[in-house]
């Protein structure tokens, strides 16, 4: 069975002389699982010997990487974790990855959209990136701040979100970026 992976960080630098690497997460506020057995760096899967939070990221010891020079070629590479690691136990507190692909209804707007991916402004704000098809069959991409007050309802069983946004809000957050998936 093919596993789904999420882009979550990049290898910022090596750490120490024994091959450890420092992972800098794209969303520093995100809570990562306490146990990680493997990570994917670009297209290669690595076994994790040890993993611990450190400052604004994580120090990871990869199996087979026992020196600083061995880990040097991993710098600035993209890190992926299995999507299944990001499953919440309570639906009132969930990982953003759990609502990827959900359909989106925006009150007062005709049409429907879907959650393509999330972005972070590296400070404190996450954004939904939503592709929205209006009643005139016109597709637009919106990067909408992820604010709980804008979410009227999330239906996990039917994978559906209803947003209630302030007037003229969509035009402010319309983007010209092409749609993509992580």
**Structural domains in the chain plus CATH codes:** 5-85 (2.40.30.60), 96-175 (2.30.30)
pLDDT of residue 46: 92
User: How far is it, in rounded angstroms, from Cα 176 to Cα 13?
Assistant: 33
pLDDT of residue 174: 78
Instruction: Let me know the angle formed at the C-alpha of 69 by 68 and 73, rounded to the nearest 5 degrees.
Output: 105
Q: Assess contact for 42 and 59: CB atoms under 8 A.
A: no
Mean pLDDT of the chain: 82
What Cα–Cα distance (Å) separates residue 70 from each residue in 25, 78, 94, 116, 178? 22, 17, 37, 36, 37
pLDDT of residue 116: 87
pLDDT beneath 70, residues of the chain? 1-2, 27-31, 88-93, 120-124, 135, 176-182
Q: Is the pTM of this model over 0.75?
A: no
68: β partners: none
């Amino acid at each position: 069975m093919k596993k789904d992976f999420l882009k979550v960080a990049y290898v910022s630098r090596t750490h120490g002389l024994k091959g450890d690497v420092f992972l800098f997460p794209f969303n520093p506020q995100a809570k990562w699982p306490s146990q990680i057995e493997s990570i994917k760096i670009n297209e290669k899967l690595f076994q994790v010997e040890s993993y611990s939070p450190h400052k604004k990221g994580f120090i990871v010891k990869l199996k087979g990487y026992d020196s600083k020079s061995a880990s040097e070629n991993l710098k600035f590479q993209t890190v992926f974790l299995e999507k299944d690691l990001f499953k919440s136990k309570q639906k009132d507190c969930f990982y953003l990855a759990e609502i990827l692909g959900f359909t989106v209804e925006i009150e007062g707007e005709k049409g429907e959209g879907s959650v393509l991916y999330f972005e972070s402004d590296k400070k404190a704000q996450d954004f939904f990136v939503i592709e929205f098809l209006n009643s005139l069959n016109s597709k637009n991409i919106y990067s909408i701040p992820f604010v709980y007050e804008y979410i009227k309802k999330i239906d996990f069983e039917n994978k559906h979100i209803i947003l209630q946004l302030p007037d003229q809000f969509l035009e402010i957050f319309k983007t010209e970026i092409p749609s993509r998936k992580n």
